[in-house]
Structure 1
Amino acid sequence: MSAFQNVIVGIDLNEETAGRLLERACQLAEPAHIEVIHACDHLHHQHQDYVHCAFESSEELDAAVIREADQFLNSVCEPMGIQQRKVLDGRTATVLHDYATNHADLVVIGSHGRHGLEAFFGSTSNEVVHGTPCDVLAVHLPPDDAGEMEAGGRYMRVLAAVDLSVEASQVMDHARRVADACGAELKLCHVSKHLQESGRKDDWKRLLEFAAGYGLAATDIHELAGRTAHAIHNLAEELHADLVVVGTHGKHGANLITGSTANAVLHGANCDELSVRIRPAA
């Protein structure tokens, strides 16, 4: 059973990180429905800048760069049975935004879970989550200096975080589909904003009713308090969740920085995050 029908994986030219992203993609879709993209943002440099290379023109240099990248893609894709791959010109986020518009229902990228200003202004994963017109799986990667990357394995425990709005079912539907595809446990949480106990009790009742529609027991449900992202991070650690599922409206600019739960959860999480693109009600 596949959770997604058409998956795009954006990778760099690092064998370890590429392997982790492709492994995750193959858990959620058949290899025949996965396409691997490497965005090459250093094409069209003047060939004279490369003093140690014998390129007679910028076009010849571009062709060599693309050829080297394509050879790398072939080396990591072929063992997994993935046949579709492309090297495209442009910034990673822009390339994935544009290509995903007509080609994908999921984009898979890597994320180092940055904090602070680096999260807002230096993160490709942040740019991809906010603007890509489909779901985005941000695969948590260890810091560059963390040494050899451990094997990822299959998803074992999926945590869906919902806000009890009419859009919550979109998040939960996708979380259920992923959990079923991976044979994982599914847990549900909501962060209550009510200060009064009566309000929190009302939220708990609504959460129970919502969860019952997905066959979840009370032991699978968690009502939280406090700052949303912080509370979700703590619960994910406590449950040993390896995937958190949240909704996103694809906000930009100031709204992205101040108003996006998906962004806040992404930067600071120690596990993967699936950002579900919320669709307007028909």
Structure 2
Amino acid sequence: MPDAPSARAGWRVAHRLLRSGLVCAVILAAWQGAVVVLDLPPFILPSPRRVAAAFLAHSDFLMRNAAITALEIVLGLMTGTGLGVVTALAASGIPAAGRVVLPVMVASQALPVFAIAPLLVIWLGYGIASKVVMATLIIYFPIASAFLDGLRRTDPGLLDLAVISDAGRLRTLALIRIPAALPGLASGLRVAAAVAPIGAVVGEWVGASAGLGFVMLQSNARMQTDMVFAALLMLGATAVLIRTAVEAATRRLVHWIDETSP
């Protein structure tokens, strides 16, 4: 017989899947109802059946472009995480660096992504590089700010204990401050995973030859609204998969914290 924790975990997964299925069913019913009641033409709002037909007819094409967008998101997530962690460590350990870096971090979020994207395409071309940089810029601030906040909120008692034990700065950082800041980093990663698709898709809208953003742009120009919706659904599914993978990884990262979900 399965143990109690495994049974509870299985029940939570089943309950979450059932709840998600019910939400999707309600959304689809409301969508179909709006199409029928308002008698909307397909180029304004296609029915779920039309979108499903478009997806099945072009599934290979959509899958290939979804893989490109997913690669851009994952590479941007990895790059942004690395830069954010390094920035937080530098700002926390070197006060002068913090005074220089923090205004740059805030300014990077004040600039609208649509203003930056054309410049990145000009500088880096229509390939994957400009999209990865866009995704990196989007997630850099959540990672850096969350990890830096965690580093600054280390329990003072633990820091006093490190001083009494004559631990150096590097040992204190590695054994006390970084582990104490990991829950903050985990929260930043989860936020970053949710917003990273924005950077990749905006970059594809500005200039690309592949990706779900490119598919949406081209389909919209041809009034193929069913394909636009199919690409949007693929993007949503891709984002959910990446977010789920990041959430599973962060649970392992902060395994000592008991996280409960409703």
Shorter chain as normaliser: what TM range?
under 0.3
- TM-score scaled to structure 1, two decimals? 0.22
Structure with bigger strand share is 1
Bigger Rg over Cα:
2
User: Counting helix residues as a fraction of each chain, which structure ranks higher?
Assistant: 2
